[in-house]
Amino acid sequence: MEKLAILGGTPAISNMPDDLFRWPIVTREDEEAVLEVLRNSWQSGTQITEQFEKEFAAWQGMRHAVAYCNGTLALEAAMFACGLGSGDEMICASKTYWASCLQIYNLGATVVFADIEPDSLCIDPKDIERCIGPRTKAIMVVHYLSHPAKMDEIMAIAKKHNLLVIEDVSHAQGGLYKGQKLGTFGHVSAMSLMIGKSFATGEMGVLVTNDKEKYDRALAYSHYERNNAKYISTENLQKYANMPLGGMKGRVNQMCSAMGRVQLKYYDERCAEIRKAMNYFWDLLADVPGIQAHRVNEAEGSNMAGWYAAHGIYKRDELGGLPLSVFNEAIKAEGYNQSIGGNLPLHTHPVFQDYNGYNTEKPTRIAFTDRDVRLLDHDLPVTEALEMYSVPWFKHYKPEYIEQYAAAFRKVALQADQLMARARPDESKPGHWFFFKDE
Ligand SMILES: *Cc1c(COP(=O)(O)O)cnc(C)c1O
């Protein structure tokens, strides 16, 4: 076995082509589309956005799509579309990015955190019922890091308890669960298309639904210029025409809509190449202990979409208890700048504990609920025990380079015993509140 780089051996990874990770793929066609908007001063119009919405809805296989200036607002509009309001509760996994749920405070409603499954890292259907109370109205399902959640079980629980389901598809645009497209299971779905995501347009979000009333509410929430009889037919909304019911503006800068139209044309084929590359990487490591893949069995008709921010699951016990931080140092020495921990569990952040944003007697999280939902946070053992690490997010199937990365992981995992001496006792939990920042 090759000597570990951290112990003085030769790093496994060298000389990568610069397009291996570059994303999104931007061609002359994207540039021309954006320049057309720029040259005509169409940034604040809606004509291109409406074309994008039509094409996106057709691609998604849904009747209606509404675009927003970002995914956070698209998800907030989805919550409003579902009628979430004062005192209502929505169940969501704690292991996700804050914009899956934090904006619910703007509606006077709150979030209840459920545990995740140890393999899919998505909300555990079995834990949803523990979280249900008299004020529960909806479940927010995140297809975490592109892994589809168990939608058949989740929809059955929702039906049994008369709950609405919102899908946050920000990590998994275009993905499949048992042959059906993600974003088509819930009553309404929304997702980010910001530049760091696999479907990348700059800054944009989009909401899809088959329900005309939910579409009307979603549009009325922040699209004041389209809150009129030409678009909206729901009776009790008519008298509020021309105003945004969320008190905010959600219009998209059309340079992003123009880029989105071009990206949509090539998205599926580009994701198919990503999956081929990522599956090849994990296949090379299938027999290696300690570093379980985070992926689905494609034979069931499910897939990992654009494999957003690819990660693996760390099994410390299979590597003699080697701390993840030491594993991480050894991987870095091999030439891959690995990050560890994934999203920090939201329930551990003070904004979900004592933050008082409404200036009432009670913290925002429980300002209008009948029960202290924070007490349920103590029962998320899988979320709290999970250890995960990033793996390279390959954008192209280039076996000779993918093999170098796989060799690095293999080499480190199989020689974990040689790293044990570097373990230090007081380890803090690694992770991030968000992934994307300017590099
Ligand atoms: C990125 C992201 C969002 C928010 O989208 P923005 O476009 O950044 O506002 C929501 N949910 C998840 C899971 C995300 O990763």
Over the stretch 201-229, which tens digit does the pLDDT of each residue have? Answer: 999 999 999 999 999 999 999 999 999 99
Q: Which atom of ligand 1 is nearest to the CA of 70?
A: 7
348: number of Cβ within 10 Å = 16
Please tell me the predicted confidence (pLDDT) of residue 424.
Answer: 85
Span 365-394, average pLDDT: 97
Say yes or no to pLDDT of 363 above 90: yes
Task: List CB contacts of 1: < 8 A, sequence separation 6 or more.
Answer: 411, 414, 415
- Residue 341 gets the label, from left (phi > 0), alpha (psi -120 to 50) or beta, of left
pLDDT-derived band at 437 (thresholds 50, 70, 90) equals low
* pLDDT mean across residues, the chain: 96
CA of 361 to the centre of ligand 1 (A): 31
Alpha helices by DSSP H, listed for 108-239, are 125-131, 151-161, 212-222
CA of 98 to the centre of ligand 1 (A): 8
Cα torsion 105, 197, 59, 149: sign: negative
Ligand 1 pocket check: which of 94, 98, 106, 170 to mutate, most ligand atoms within 8 Å of Cβ? Answer: 170
Please tell me the predicted confidence (pLDDT) of residue 428.
Answer: 77
Q: Return the closest-CA partner of residue 65 out of 256, 266, 249, 231.
A: 231
d(CA 166, CA 82): 8
Q: DSSP code of 395? A: S
Token pair 């079980």 is found at 153
pTM for the model stands at 0.97
Ligand 1 pocket check: which of 95, 96, 100 to mutate, most ligand atoms within 8 Å of Cβ? Answer: 100
CA of 198 to the centre of ligand 1 (A): 12
State the architecture of 28-261 in CATH terms. 3-Layer(aba) Sandwich (3.40)
Q: Which atom of ligand 1 is nearest to the CA of 203?
A: 7
CA of 352 to the centre of ligand 1 (A): 18
pLDDT-derived band at 166 (thresholds 50, 70, 90) equals very high
CA of 192 to the centre of ligand 1 (A): 5
Span 334-340, average pLDDT: 96
Atom 10 (ligand 1): residue with closest C-alpha?
99
Which value, to the nearest 10 degrees, does the dihedral of the CA atoms of residues 35, 38, 40, 44 take? 130
CA of 47 to the centre of ligand 1 (A): 25
CA of 384 to the centre of ligand 1 (A): 22
pLDDT-derived band at 430 (thresholds 50, 70, 90) equals confident
Q: Which atom of ligand 1 is nearest to the CA of 435?
A: 15
Q: Ligand 1 pocket: which residues have CB below 6 Å?
A: 70-72, 75, 96-97, 99-100, 142, 168, 170-171, 192, 194, 205
Q: Which atom of ligand 1 is nearest to the CA of 96?
A: 13
Ligand 1 pocket check: which of 72, 73, 106, 193 to mutate, most ligand atoms within 8 Å of Cβ? Answer: 72
Query: Is the N-terminal amide bond of 24 cis, ω within 30° of 0?
Result: yes
Bridge partner residues of 23 (DSSP): none
Q: Return the closest-CA partner of residue 57 out of 178, 171, 218, 179.
A: 218
300-332: per-residue pLDDT in tens? Answer: 999 999 999 999 999 999 999 999 999 999 999
43-99: per-residue pLDDT in tens? Answer: 999 999 999 999 999 999 999 999 999 999 999 999 999 999 999 999 999 999 999
Which value, to the nearest 10 degrees, does the dihedral of the CA atoms of residues 62, 68, 70, 76 take? -80
Ligand 1 pocket check: which of 69, 73, 97 to mutate, most ligand atoms within 8 Å of Cβ? Answer: 97
Say yes or no to pLDDT of 438 above 80: no
Q: Residue ranges of the domains in the chain?
A: 28-261
425: number of Cβ within 10 Å = 5
Q: DSSP code of 343? A: B
CA of 119 to the centre of ligand 1 (A): 22
Please tell me the predicted confidence (pLDDT) of residue 103.
Answer: 98
Output the six-digit token pair for 53: 């919405």
CA of 280 to the centre of ligand 1 (A): 28
Alpha helices by DSSP H, listed for 82-211, are 125-131, 151-161
Atom 7 (ligand 1): residue with closest C-alpha?
71
Q: Are 95 and 144 in contact (CB under 8 A)?
A: yes
Say yes or no to pLDDT of 230 above 90: yes
CA of 404 to the centre of ligand 1 (A): 32
Atom 1 (ligand 1): residue with closest C-alpha?
192
CA of 300 to the centre of ligand 1 (A): 28
Please tell me the predicted confidence (pLDDT) of residue 439.
Answer: 43
Bridge partner residues of 165 (DSSP): 139
d(CA 173, CA 63): 17
Span 398-426, average pLDDT: 95
CA of 295 to the centre of ligand 1 (A): 21
d(CA 296, CA 309): 15
